[in-house]
């Protein structure tokens, strides 16, 4: 009986509701002032550490308001800006049609163009394919709660090493790195921000993206990434894809780990300045 009562009290102490509103400001200790979209006035919601660093101020967001005791936390904060949602829906639908048209031959081969995308980065900014054109690019897929040290953590560590190697090459300043989560329900911009910070990632070069689950599923098919949910986790393959400034797939390395120095050299050559630098 006591166990039942304890469970009842625990459930009553934890209440959740979905809310939408415009973020006015976020204080240093994480309290966000939000103007509720339903006309309830201003709300105070506690943001997690990652969301405190995301540029949510001035934007309309959606989140789960979870009350524990006297404190209400905003969990799973994502953009609800109408124009951004429209752009994402447009790209998602276009990519869905393209994926269906390709049938079983979806995975893109070397020299094929990268697919379109519209996803949010770890700063809450909507980014699209056009934002990366003109820059050599290396991208991979992970999910932040991966428990296998040989998979996503190893891949993220290699991406960190790649960023560090590129930082030593002045003529590779235009290279961009990109990591897309295949668990967008969990990996919101705030979660990705905290994850990237944990690896000491340079945000000026390396973006982490999340967003519409359907769009990400199609992107995975185009990049040859497969997943299977099993025993509470996600079983998946891994690859690093190098893309030219023109947006064409130039190189693919299978597996979560790769030689960061070798990939950095490939990306540097794609900048078109490696030959001039060596003269």
Q: How many CB atoms lie within 10 A of CB 205?
A: 18
| pLDDT digits (tens), the chain, 279 positions | 445 444 444 444 456 799 999 999 999 999 999 999 988 799 999 999 999 999 999 999 999 999 988 899 999 999 999 999 999 999 999 999 999 999 888 999 999 999 999 999 999 999 999 999 999 999 999 999 998 899 999 999 999 999 999 999 999 999 999 999 999 999 999 999 999 999 999 999 999 999 999 999 999 999 999 987 776 677 788 999 999 999 999 999 999 999 999 999 999 999 974 444 333
Instruction: Indicate if 74 and 177 belong to the same structural domain.
Output: no
Query: The domain spanning residue 163 has which CATH number?
Result: 3.40.30.10
- Domain range for 217 is 83-272
- Tell me how many domains the chain contains: 2
From 79, 112, 130, the end of a domain falls on: 79
From 79, 96, 113, the end of a domain falls on: 79
Query: The domain spanning residue 40 has which CATH number?
Result: 2.40.50.140
Instruction: Indicate if 96 and 228 belong to the same structural domain.
Output: yes
Task: Give DSSP secondary structure letters for 13-54.
Answer: HEEEEEEEEEEEEE-TTSEEEEEETTS--EEEEEEPHHHHHS
Torsion of CA 43, 45, 50, 56, to 10 degrees: 0
Q: Considering the domain boundaries, does residue 200 fall inside one?
A: yes
Instruction: Indicate if 205 and 261 belong to the same structural domain.
Output: yes
From 53, 79, 105, the end of a domain falls on: 79
Instruction: Indicate if 97 and 60 belong to the same structural domain.
Output: no
φ/ψ of residue 272, rounded to 5: 80, 10
φ/ψ of residue 50, rounded to 5: -60, -45
Instruction: Indicate if 169 and 206 belong to the same structural domain.
Output: yes
Instruction: Indicate if 41 and 99 belong to the same structural domain.
Output: no
Instruction: Give the H/E segment covering residue 206.
Output: strand 206-209
Q: Considering the domain boundaries, does residue 11 fall inside one?
A: no
CA distances from 164 to 79, 85, 257, 275 (A): 31, 34, 15, 21
Q: Considering the domain boundaries, does residue 279 fall inside one?
A: no
């Amino acid at each position: 009986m006591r166990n039942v009562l304890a469970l009842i009290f625990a459930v009553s102490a934890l209440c959740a509701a979905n809310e939408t509103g415009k973020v006015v400001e976020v204080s240093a200790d994480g309290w966000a002032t939000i103007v509720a979209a339903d006309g309830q006035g201003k709300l105070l919601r506690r943001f997690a550490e990652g969301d405190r660093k995301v540029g949510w101020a001035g934007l309309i967001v959606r989140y789960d308001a979870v009350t524990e005791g006297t404190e209400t936390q905003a969990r799973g904060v994502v953009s609800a800006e109408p124009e951004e949602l429209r752009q994402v829906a447009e790209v998602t639908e276009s990519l869905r049609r393209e994926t269906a048209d390709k049938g079983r031959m979806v995975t893109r081969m070397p020299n094929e163009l990268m697919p379109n995308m519209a996803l949010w980065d770890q700063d809450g900014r909507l980014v699209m394919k056009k934002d990366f054109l003109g820059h050599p690019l290396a991208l991979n897929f992970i999910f932040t709660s991966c428990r296998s040290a040989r998979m996503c953590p190893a891949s993220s560590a290699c991406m960190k090493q790649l960023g560090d190697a590129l930082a030593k090459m002045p003529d590779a300043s235009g290279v961009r790195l990109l990591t897309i989560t295949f668990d967008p329900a969990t990996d919101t911009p705030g979660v990705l921000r905290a994850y990237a910070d944990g690896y000491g990632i340079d945000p000026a070069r390396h973006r982490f993206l999340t967003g519409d689950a359907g769009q990400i599923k199609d992107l995975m098919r185009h990049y040859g990434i497969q997943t299977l949910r099993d025993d509470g986790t996600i079983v998946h393959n891994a690859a690093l894809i190098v893309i030219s400034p023109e947006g064409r797939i130039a190189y693919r390395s299978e597996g979560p780990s790769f030689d960061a120095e070798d990939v950095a050299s490939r990306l540097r050559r794609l900048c078109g300045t490696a030959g001039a630098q060596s003269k």
